[in-house]
Amino acid sequence: MLKITGMLLSTFLLLPITSFASPEDNYPESLLYSQPKKVAKNVWTSIGATQYYSYENGGHNNNLSFVIGTDSILVVNGGSSYLLAKALHDEIKKISALPVKYVVDENGQSHAILGNGYWKEQGAKIIAHVDALEEVSEQGLEGLENLQTILKERAEGTELIAVDETFTDQLTLDLGGLKVELIHFGPAHSVGDISVFVPANNVLIAGDMAFQQRLLPIFPDTDTAEWLETWNNAFAPFAEDKIIIPGHGDVTDFKTVDQWTRGYLAYIRAKVAELLENDGSLEDAYLIDQSPYAHLETFDQLAAKNAGRVFEAMEFE
Ligand SMILES: [Zn+2]
């Protein structure tokens, strides 16, 4: 018996270390959840985990992308932490020696902004939508403390820093002949959501406007009616024929993010409207059948909460 145990133990120790990596990490040798992949000639992305922040995923639960121009590089999202930003930079350096000139935050959420300090040290200019500053000043510190609790020593060096430049509707940047357009399509998932378009490659880095593979979260300040309006009137006509890097989930096309983002918003709003017509209560909203979306990541954590928030909002619409 002892002998068998000993054999099992030595077998265990001889297995390559990577086979013990958490299933929550596709790229164990880096803090990044996955190795950056090439989406188009100038565009790369490192797809984040479609789960919540965890120590194992290093806080990398959204997509971190970069655009390589002729004289400089633009990064989309500062990332959740100083070390995560550095991990992305380490990967960028393997691909290009050009400097990172701009870091664009998709909104004011922790996973967009908390790594900005690293990029600032590298000499990058940090850009966000003017409304994102509101979220940073209201929730930035709380987000930082939350991340520090979850990431422990992996949050080392992370601090909240000021954004260098803001814009309102649109801003065009030049990476040495390669144009990149920052676009605010309108109110969507969270305050100051923006998308980044690379015309030369037909790639739209949609940011939190668009989700797939995980259920989208409806926050207390998310206006789902406005999000749908922005989607139908501004985002869809623009995005229809583009390669889409969503805020969360793998690189895809418009049809897919339309199904899992607009489709879900329309579905949950129709269900809640039906409930309100029948004098249903908040408790009933929590029980709404959302089974067509049950296979999506984060469904268990978010589905009932989302329904409750839509109910509370639609009561007053
Ligand atoms: Zn996000």
Superfamily classification of domain 34-253:
Ribonuclease Z/Hydroxyacylglutathione hydrolase-like (3.60.15.10)
227 CA distance to ligand 1 middle (Å): 15
Which residue carries 């623009």 as its tokens? 238
User: What is the structure's pLDDT at 8?
Assistant: 45
**Burial class (CB within 10 angstroms; exposed 0-12, middle 13-18, buried 19+) of 119:** buried
User: What is the structure's pLDDT at 24?
Assistant: 65
pLDDT digits (tens, 9 = 90+) for 245-302: 999 999 999 999 999 999 999 999 999 999 999 999 999 999 999 999 999 999 999 9
Partners of 163 in beta bridges:
none
> Is residue 55's pLDDT more than 50?
yes
205 CA distance to ligand 1 middle (Å): 12
207 CA distance to ligand 1 middle (Å): 7
Nearest alpha-carbon partner for 184 in 203, 171, 199: 171
pLDDT digits (tens, 9 = 90+) for 191-240: 999 999 999 999 999 999 999 999 999 999 999 999 999 999 999 999 99
Percent of the chain residues past pLDDT 70, beyond the cut: 92
189 CA distance to ligand 1 middle (Å): 9
User: What is the structure's pLDDT at 23?
Assistant: 54
249 CA distance to ligand 1 middle (Å): 10
User: What is the structure's pLDDT at 20?
Assistant: 39
User: What is the structure's pLDDT at 171?
Assistant: 98
Give the integer Cα–Cα distance in Å for 76 and 105. Answer: 6
> Is residue 18's pLDDT more than 60?
no
Nearest alpha-carbon partner for 114 in 93, 136, 99: 136
Backbone φ and ψ of 75, nearest 5°: -110, 135
User: What is the structure's pLDDT at 301?
Assistant: 96
pTM to 2 decimal places = 0.92
3 CA distance to ligand 1 middle (Å): 51
| Residue ranges covered by each domain of the chain | 34-253
Instruction: List residues, by chain if needed, whose CB lies under 5 Å from ion ligand 1.
Output: 62, 208, 247
User: What is the structure's pLDDT at 300?
Assistant: 96
312 CA distance to ligand 1 middle (Å): 23
3-state SS class at 44: strand
If you compute the radius of gyration of the chain from its CA atoms, what whole number of angstroms results?
A: 21
14 CA distance to ligand 1 middle (Å): 39
Q: Please give the span between the terminal C-alpha atoms of the chain, in angstroms, as a whole number.
A: 69
279 CA distance to ligand 1 middle (Å): 34
220 CA distance to ligand 1 middle (Å): 15
67 CA distance to ligand 1 middle (Å): 19
pLDDT digits (tens, 9 = 90+) for 81-125: 999 999 999 999 999 999 999 999 999 999 999 999 999 999 999
193 CA distance to ligand 1 middle (Å): 9
293 CA distance to ligand 1 middle (Å): 18
The pLDDT confidence band at residue 25, using thresholds 50, 70 and 90, is confident
